[in-house]
Amino acid sequence: MLPPVVSIPDLPPQYCQVEYWRITASRKRILQANLLALGLLPLWWLIAVGLMIALGYSKDSLIITIPRVLLASVITVLLHEGVHALAVRAFGGKPQFGVLWKALAFYTTVKGMAFKRWVFLVFLLAPLVVLSILFPLMAVFLRGEFWLSVAFLAFMINGASSAGDVFITAVLLRYPPTAYVADEIDGVRIFLPIG
C-alpha cells in the first residue's frame, strides 16, 4: 500500500504527471470561480437564516453593516486558512500562506509534497466543514446582537468563499483514488500510475 504523503521526488516510479490544473490558466477559470462564490452567497444566506431560526433567533437578528462584514471577512480568512494549515500539518506538511492577486484569493500551500487524492480532499474541504459547524456554535455561545451577526456573516462568507476549494474538488474527483496531488500556489499537479 502506498503512503498517503510523499515528497515529489519519492513518488513511486510508475507515477507520472498527467495534468497541471491552474486556476490562472485562463481568465475564464478565474471568472467562473469568482462567479461561483458570488452565486453561492444567497444560498449561504438562506442557510444562515434557517440556522438562526432553528436556534431560536429572529431572521432580523442578522444585521449587515460594513464594520460587521469587514470583521467577519477578516475572521473568516484567518480561520479558513488556519484550518487548511492544521489539516496540512496533521499529515506532516509545512503550510505556507499568501495572496494570489491575479485570482483575488488567499491561499495555503505545501511545496514539494504529493498527497493521495483523499488526503488532498481533506485539506480542501476541511475549512468548509469545520467552520460551517464552528461559526453557528460561536453564535450560540457569544452574547449580543453584534457578535451574532458577525458569526453568521462569517458563516456565509466562508461558505461562499470556499468556491475555489469546491472548484478544485470537482477537478480532483475526475481522477481515480490512486492519484497523487501536489499543491501549487495557483492550482494542482496530478500524478497517476502509467503502464
pLDDT in tens, 19-74: 999 988 888 988 888 888 899 999 999 999 999 899 888 878 888 899 999 999 99
pLDDT at 193: 93
Check if the beta carbon of residue 150 is closer than 8 Å to that of residue 72. yes
| Cell of residue 98, nine digits | 499568501
Name residue, grid cell 489539516. 87
pLDDT in tens, 92-113: 889 999 998 877 788 899 999 9
| Cell of residue 151, nine digits | 458569526
- The band of 145, judged by pLDDT with boundaries at 50, 70 and 90, is confident
| Domain count for the chain | 1
Full domain range(s) for residue 62:
5-193
Do β-strands 5-7 and 113-116 pair in parallel, antiparallel, or remain unpaired?
antiparallel
- Average pLDDT for the chain: 92
pTM, whole model, 2 decimals?
Answer: 0.90
Angle 119-27-179 (CA atoms, 0-180°, nearest 5)? 20
Burial of 78 (0-12, 13-18, 19+ CB in 10 A): exposed
End-to-end C-alpha distance for the chain, whole angstroms: 18
| Cell of residue 143, nine digits | 452574547
The amino acid that residue 147 corresponds to is W
Three-state SS annotation for 142-195: CCCHHHHHHHHHHHHHHHHHCHHHHHHHHHHCCCCCCCEEEEECCEEEEEEECC
